Structure 1
Amino acid sequence: MTEVQIKNFSAGSGRPFVLVAGPCVIEDYTGVMQIARSLKEITKRLDIPFIFKASYDKANRTSIDSFRGPGIKQGLEILSEIGLELDVAVMSDVHSPSEAELAAEVLDVLQIPAFLCRQTDLIVAAARTNRPLNIKKGQFLAPWDMDHVAKKARSAGNPQVLLTERGASFGYNNLVADFRSIPIMQSLGCPVIFDATHSVQLPGGAGGASAGQRQFAPILAKAAIAAGADGLFLEVHPEPDKALSDGPNSIRLDELEPLLNQLKAINNALIKPERNP
């Protein structure tokens, strides 16, 4: 497996797992900075490698009236300040080839959204920035199909590829997580992140917006770590019911640290002790 270097840590190097966390979208500067600072403090206490993620533009919202974020210019300015002030890695979605180079000036990791994971020009443009990529598996793809996706990035000379499992379409407005996908995608040579909060999303389940079942996200997160995931993706918000995007499947910020403690215990149980020579 290719280790992916992100600032001062590696994903896919074994334990501990990497945490990708933050609100779905940048709602305002003050709020997103407070969330990032809290996440930095929690992960520092628990010694968990951390990537802060928030979208500057949610281009795939259900409704034309849905909040999309501040846009690329203001959003990247905010993410740059978070990265510099808190000394954390930052990640956000890119939606078009023209965005990739500009986003790479700020972001430590470029994320390819699930709906766009087969867009060759986007993946190649993102890969050519030489930033690590986090490519989300489309809800419409089998895990082994991501081999072709990863090869597109590698063809551009960039082996720094993370793959993220985020559930597969399972009938109307529902997703299902298949934990076989974790070792299958790892066998493609990429570290695998499990997105526990998007996996409990109910796409379009609220009519003009997506619904979700956030109460099941911790269960899926624990199962993913037990299955050997290299990292977790969790959307986190202080008041999920007031979040402007993906609130129904987001974890409350004040419930995160107890969950991470449980996840670390599971993770530690999987670590084989070193033998004395």
Structure 2
Amino acid sequence: MHAIPKLKNTDSNRFFLMAGPCAIEDRDMALRIAERIVELTERLRIPYIFKGSYRKANRTRLDSFTGIGDEKALRILQEVGETFGIPTVTDIHESGEAAMAAEYVDVLQIPAFLCRQTDLLVAAAQTGKAVNVKKGQFLSGSSMKFAVEKIRETNPDAHVILTDRGNSFGYGDLVVDFRNLPEMQSFGVPVVMDCTHSLQQPNQGSGVTGGKPRLIATIAKAAIAVGTDGLFIETHFNPAEAKSDGANMLPLDQLEALLTQLVRIKEALNEK
């Protein structure tokens, strides 16, 4: 497996990036996306973790795409890590999945709706892998200290990451409260801003989640400006054809320009 890069921000280093497709759709797609992002992040000197879900358990409709098979997708994630020498991250949904996924990836991610599930957090911590917990849409940043405590009490050496993905705003929208980022950083863990899921419009009448991808750059720039440690961005060659969450993904051909701008913002902040 691969070492997790130094993730906690300081005035002298840059933010890190978790990025990739929402779901692993096939081997070729995953490798092509990873290859492109690796090229960009190496050139811009941004620590990079490849993201891909081996299975999508939280779907609005029964006929929504959920995955290509757990083991098949996990083996693709493993191949991505081995091919490019980078760490990988994937979601887990039940405590029984933690040990299985830990055999293939470097970071286990806890979905936002499940961030209070004690058995799931404990199982993830017991694997010894880094654990990225997404803040529930129904929680404040300060409430996430309890998720951190559950993991650290289970495994004092656990590498914990917290990710904000917005808060529920009405029935079908989210809003980002940037106060949550420094609040969660006060727990001594690296904090990530999820720039794509925070722009979702969940539970639309069609049964397909909507989104506002035109605002991804806005969320990302604001997060860097307030000092977030990392960014989470789902991206695809053609979001319109993505089998999951295409409505709020960043087209891959727009990633270079965005990362370049973000590096400049970070450098400007460091100069001060």
Normalising by the residue count of structure 1, what TM-score does the alignment of the two structures yield? 0.94
Matches within 5 A, 1:82-161: 82-157=80-155, 158-161=157-160
CA displacement 1:64-91 (0-9 Å, x = unmatched): 1100112321111100111001111100
Paired residue for 1:30, among 13, 28, 31? 28
Instruction: Report the Cα offset of residue 159 of structure 1.
Output: 3.5
C-alpha distance in 2 between matches for 1:104 and 1:143: 27
CA displacement 1:20-76 (0-9 Å, x = unmatched): 000100111111111111111111111110000000000001111100112321111
Aligned-pair identity in percent equals 50
CA displacement 1:198-242 (0-9 Å, x = unmatched): 011101225211000100011000000001000000000110111
Instruction: Report the Cα offset of residue 96 of structure 1.
Output: 1.1
C-alpha distance in 2 between matches for 1:123 and 1:9: 22
- List structure 1 runs of 4+ shifted beyond 4 angstroms: none
Between 1:156-165 and 1:18-27, the stretch displaced more is 156-165
Instruction: Report the Cα offset of residue 163 of structure 1.
Output: 0.2
Instruction: Report the Cα offset of residue 13 of structure 1.
Output: 4.1
Paired residue for 1:11, among 7, 32, 48? 7
Instruction: Report the Cα offset of residue 8 of structure 1.
Output: 5.6
**Letter of the 1:103 counterpart:** A
**Letter of the 1:169 counterpart:** S
Please tell me the root mean square deviation across aligned C-alpha atoms, in Å: 1.2
Q: Which residues of structure 1 form unaligned runs of 5+?
A: 1-5
| Other-structure match for 2:255 | 256
C-alpha distance in 2 between matches for 1:8 and 1:148: 23
Instruction: Report the Cα offset of residue 245 of structure 1.
Output: 0.7
**Secondary structure in 1 matching 2:6:** strand
C-alpha distance in 2 between matches for 1:256 and 1:89: 19
| Other-structure match for 2:48 | 50
**Letter of the 1:164 counterpart:** T
Q: Which residues of structure 2 form unaligned runs of 5+?
A: none
C-alpha distance in 1 between matches for 2:206 and 2:69: 25
C-alpha distance in 1 between matches for 2:242 and 2:120: 29
**Letter of the 1:182 counterpart:** L
- 1:252/1:11 CA distance change after superposition, 3 Å: same
| Other-structure match for 1:269 | 268
C-alpha distance in 1 between matches for 2:236 and 2:102: 25
| Other-structure match for 2:189 | 190
Q: Report the count of equivalent residues.
A: 268
| Other-structure match for 1:3 | none
| 2:41 counterpart of 1:59 | no
**Letter of the 1:210 counterpart:** T
Normalising by the residue count of structure 2, what TM-score does the alignment of the two structures yield? 0.96
Matches within 5 A, 1:211-226: 211-226=210-225
